[in-house]
Amino acid sequence: MKFLKKEDGITLIEIMASLVLILILIIGFSGAFINGLRSEALVDQRLEARRISDSIIERLRNNRGDWDISTSIDDYSLHLVEKGDNENSGVDIIVSYDEVETNLFLFEITWEDRNYSNEILLTGGDDL
């Protein structure tokens, strides 16, 4: 009867166990990678919304005038939202305003991403 020689090598069970461990690690890292991509997309949307609202505020600051609350501001605010490239950004932008005093308006620009907003206080005429 021949004696079995001790052979060095890897058994099928060891190979399967190591493959299962590698698969678990890959799944864990891929989940973290996907979450990182989602976070980056949210940050990009927030930055785009901030850029659009800053652009709208800058236009409002540069175009001061003696406004009539009943006509010009409605047309102007809708015009600003259309020019803000809102369709391509994927962010809903709302431009609202209140007349604080006579010829003094508070504009609020709100976007849907976690309800962030930006405000500006403008006056009509050349007194600023």
Q: Residue 34: inside a domain, yes or no?
A: yes
What gap in Å lies between CA 20 and CA 97, rounded to an integer? Answer: 60
Residue 102 lies in a domain: yes
Q: Look at residue 16 in the predicted model and tell me its pLDDT.
A: 94
Residue that has been written with the tokens 């009867």 in this structure = 1
Show the CA angle centred on residue 38, arms to residues 33 and 43, nearest 5°: 125
Look at residue 66 and tell me if it is in a domain.
yes
- For 49, other C-beta atoms within 10 Å of its C-beta total 26
List, for residues 17-63, the tens digit of each pLDDT value.
Answer: 999 999 999 999 999 999 999 889 888 877 877 787 777 777 766 76
How far apart are alpha carbons 93 and 55 in whole angstroms? 12
- What is the tens place of the pLDDT at every residue in 53-83? 777 777 766 765 554 444 444 444 433 443 3
For residue 4, tell me if it sits in a domain.
no
Q: Which residue has the higher pLDDT, 101 or 17?
A: 17
Indicate the DSSP class of residue 114. G
31 assigned to some structural domain: yes
- State pTM to two decimals: 0.41
List all residues 6 or more positions away from 80 whose beta carbon is below 8 Å from its beta carbon.
Answer: 56, 59, 60, 95
Q: Is the residue at 88 inside a domain?
A: yes
User: pLDDT averaged over the chain?
Assistant: 68
Is 5 part of a structural domain of the chain?
no
Whether 1 shows a pLDDT value over 60: the answer reads: no
Task: Supply the range of the domain harboring residue 54.
Answer: 12-123
Domain count of the chain? 1
